[in-house]
Amino acid sequence: MTRWLVRLFLGGVFVVAGVLKALDPARFADDVARYGLLPDALVNGVALALPWVELLAGALLIVGVWRQAAALVIAVLNAVFLVAVSVALARGLEVCGCFGGSVARKASVWTLVEDFVFLAAAIWLCHKERRQQ
Amino acid sequence: MGQTFQRALLIVAAGGLLGLGVNAVSPRRIPWRRPPRWTPAATDLVTLEDARRLWERGEAVFLDARATEQYRAGHVAGAWSLPLQEFETVFPSLRSRLSPDQALVLYCDGERCDDSYRLLLKLRPLGYTNARVLVNGWTLWRRAQLPSVQGGSP
């Protein structure tokens, strides 16, 4: 039951995050560029691909197909976000892009906490689903 | 675990291809490769010191190239909001208040943000030749604790 709720929650968050980013690729690409972590040549490709990976992994988690793999993808993505947001905070950048441009906000310590919770949930799921299989 | 890893890679590959594929047919399509970054000429730029002087004497209009929400959250005092993404809809209403020889300081935020420069490239052909970019403007302005305000456009 708990696992089902966590799957639904985490999957839901990632589907929403993916959809919001996919709706405005130009803005999300600008956000990715603003982090300054990727070479310019890769920025748009990542900005185009990432939302759909989030969406797909989130959807799989919700419908319960390839759960462990979907949780693994989400865990890795969150680890990457955690690093990116930390660097942005350390550099004093005003950027987030976490839920696309439609939710205007900049990264804060709360974003880190949020990422950390999602990461923990994903790792936990990944672990649980393995024992299940 | 090996199978899980393979599946995870498949999810990433499928998601990525889906994203690139959708972009190819989407009306909101963006190029796969980001256009090369600008290489500013010295004459395109204004230093913080000069920008501050212009501001104090009221000799320049500051234009904020960031998104409206970011502008509302805080901007250079007196700056007008002109988001790059909404240039075509917003600029006509500002144009009547800006003579072509008006000194303009354009800014966005972040060392690598070139929205203000792209704004410059849009303004120049319209006759605004006295426009310059304050790179990383919002961050510099805040760090220097120069006057800023929150809220909508003046």
Domain of residue A7, residue span: 2-132
Interface predicted TM-score (ipTM):
0.91
Categorize the per-residue pLDDT at B4 as very low, low, confident or very high, splitting at 50, 70 and 90: very high
Residue in chain B closest to A56 (alpha carbons) equals: B15
Quick check: B105 and B60 in contact, CB under 8 A?
Answer: yes
| DSSP assignment of chain A | -HHHHHHHHHHHHHHHHHHHHHH-HHHHHHHHHHHT-S-HHHHHHHHHHHHHHHHHHHHHHHHTSSHHHHHHHHHHHHHHHHHHHHHHHHTT---B-BTBTTS--B--HHHHHHHHHHHHHHHHHHHHHHHH-
Categorize the per-residue pLDDT at B153 as very low, low, confident or very high, splitting at 50, 70 and 90: low
Residues 6+ apart with CB under 8 A from B130: B100, B101, B102, B103, B104
Compute the average pLDDT of residues A44-55: 96
Record: contact B111-A36, CB cut-off 8 A: yes
Summarize pLDDT for B34-60 with one digit per residue, the tens.
876 666 788 899 999 999 999 999 999
Residue ranges per structural domain of chain B: 1-34, 42-149
And the tokens for B10?
């498949």
User: What residues of chain A lie within 8 A of the CB of B139, using their CB?
Assistant: 92-94
Provide the pairing of β-strand B148-149 with B75-76: antiparallel
Residue-level pLDDT at B88: 87
> A interface mutation test: which of B7, B68, B142 has the most A CBs within 10 A?
B7
Nearest-neighbour CA in chain B from A81: distance (Å): 16
**Fold annotation for B42-149:** Oxidized Rhodanese; domain 1 (3.40.250)
Summarize pLDDT for A74-117 with one digit per residue, the tens.
999 999 999 999 998 888 777 788 887 655 567 888 899 999 99
Record: contact A49-B19, CB cut-off 8 A: yes
pLDDT at B1 over 70: no
Average pLDDT, chain A: 90
And the tokens for B108?
């966005």
Categorize the per-residue pLDDT at A54 as very low, low, confident or very high, splitting at 50, 70 and 90: very high
pLDDT at A119 over 60: yes
Categorize the per-residue pLDDT at A118 as very low, low, confident or very high, splitting at 50, 70 and 90: very high
Residue-level pLDDT at A21: 94
Cβ of residue B148 closer than 8 Å to a chain A Cβ? no
Cβ of residue B38 closer than 8 Å to a chain A Cβ? no
Categorize the per-residue pLDDT at A133 as very low, low, confident or very high, splitting at 50, 70 and 90: low
pTM: 0.65
Residue-level pLDDT at B37: 65
Record: contact B112-A30, CB cut-off 8 A: no
- How many domains does chain A divide into? 1
Q: What percent of chain B has pLDDT over 90?
A: 71
CA distance A50 to A72: 15
Range of lowest pLDDT (A56-65, B84-93, B136-145): B84-93
Nearest-neighbour CA in chain A from B30: distance (Å): 6
Helix (H) or strand (E) holding A31: helix A25-35
Quick check: B154 and B78 in contact, CB under 8 A?
Answer: yes
